[in-house]
Structure 1
Amino acid sequence: MTSFVLDSQLQQDCFWVSDFPLCRLLMMNDARFRWFLLVPRVPGARDAIDLSAYDYRRLWDESADLCRAMRIAFTPHKLNVAALGNQVAQLHIHHIARYQGDAAWPRPVWGNGAPEPMDDHTSRQHSKELESALPMRLRAR
């Protein structure tokens, strides 16, 4: 059986935050946005339909829990949730807290300027804010 390996581009672009029952939770290293990704730890999954029926439901349950936590922690104007995979084929779902007047508003975040790397303090702060809003069953132990 093949084990889960995180795509090298995601490793380069993101910070590890936590592991949920199905997904790895990552935070994009871009200080302009509060941007998180869920990556199902299922080897070879490229699209949501590659998951078993059980894991498919679990993915969207974890996504909904993450969205609720982001709404509580960051009070965004809008949550953007998307699975593109045009540059990274490994299945991953973007969850982005959007604000009127943010660096890309009202356009999509992709292709709008260069990422601004976060310092350690900011990345830890965003992770803590999010974790405090997650349901207890998903919080890091």
Structure 2
Amino acid sequence: MTTFRLDERLARDSQSILELPLCDVRLSRDSRWPWLILVPRRADVSEIFELSEDDQLQLLREQTMVSVALKGATDAAKINVAAIGNIVRQLHVHVVARFEGDPNWPGPIWGFGAPEPYTDEAFSAMTQTILDALT
């Protein structure tokens, strides 16, 4: 059996803020959008359909819970959810709060501009805001 290991790019570009039963919930270091990444802790999985049926259902529950919390925490106009994985093949689901007038609205966030890192204080504040919304 292969052991779960987080992809190095996910580790570099985000930080874990919470562990749910299936997923590691990570906050993107790019401050342009409130952006969470759910990473199922399963080895060698790149597609949702490769998860067991129970894990697929759990992913849906966790994705929904995180989406509702992010919407409540940010009052976003739209919550974008995507599992693209063309560059990072490890299964991960993006949950992004979007606002009219945000960088590249209404276009996609991928490949647009350069990431803008949070300050330590702003990252801590966003983390706490999201965790508060999840409880």
Q: TM-score, normalised by structure 2?
A: 0.98
For structure 1, the residue ranges without an aligned partner over 5 or more in a row are 136-141
Q: Any runs of at least 4 consecutive aligned residues in structure 1 with deviations exceeding 4 A, and if so which?
A: none
* Residue 67 in structure 1 maps to residue 67 in structure 2: yes
For structure 2, the residue ranges without an aligned partner over 5 or more in a row are none
Structure 1 distance, partners of 2:55, 2:43, is 13
Alignment partner, residue 41 of structure 1: 41
Alignment partner, residue 88 of structure 1: 88
Structure 1 distance, partners of 2:124, 2:104, is 23
Give, in angstroms, the shift of residue 31 of structure 1: 1.1
Aligned length: 135
Secondary structure, aligned partner of 2:15: strand
Alignment partner, residue 139 of structure 1: none
Residue type of the alignment partner of 2:115: P
Where does 1:118-137 land on structure 2 (aligned, <5 Å)? 118-135=118-135
Secondary structure, aligned partner of 1:105: coil
Residue type of the alignment partner of 2:64: A
How far does the alpha carbon of each residue in 1:41-60 deviate from its partner, in whole angstroms, 9 at most, with x for none? 00011000110000000001
Q: TM-score, normalised by structure 1?
A: 0.94
